[in-house]
């Protein structure tokens, strides 16, 4: 019985060493693609309340810049 256990241990050791030596060289898993740097957005001040808002989120009226449609209309 002990010879069978030794034989199985030797087979397992050979299998394990062979597996380590023939391990495929795979590249590391690709993570998310690097993001493109975003263009910086100009921050403009509202003519009414003075809050700074990105230019693409505000409203332009008559050459002036406002943070929202309500301030552009002149409402409260």
Closest by Cα among 12, 13, 16, 73 to 48: 73
**Range 44-62 average pLDDT:** 93
- Report the pLDDT value the prediction gives residue 8, as an integer from 0 to 100: 94
What are the residue ranges spanned by the domains of the chain?
42-76
- Report the pLDDT value the prediction gives residue 75, as an integer from 0 to 100: 61
**Range 41-56 average pLDDT:** 92
Q: Which residues, 6+ apart, have CB-to-CB distance to 54 below 8 Å?
A: 41, 42, 43, 44
At 4-46, the pLDDT tens digits run 999 999 999 999 999 888 877 777 667 777 777 777 789 999 9
- Report the pLDDT value the prediction gives residue 28, as an integer from 0 to 100: 67
> In the Cβ-directed half-sphere of 59, how many Cα atoms lie within 13 Å?
12
Closest by Cα among 48, 42, 76 to 67: 48
- 38/22 Cα distance (integer angstroms): 44
């Amino acid at each position: 019985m002990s010879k069978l256990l030794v034989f199985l241990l030797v087979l397992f050791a050979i299998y394990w060493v062979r597996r380590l030596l023939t391990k495929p060289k795979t590249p590391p898993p690709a993570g998310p693609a690097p993001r493109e740097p975003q263009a910086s957005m100009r921050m403009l001040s509202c003519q009414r309340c003075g809050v700074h808002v990105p230019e693409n989120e505000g409203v332009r009226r008559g050459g002036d810049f406002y943070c929202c449609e309500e301030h552009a209309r002149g409402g409260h």
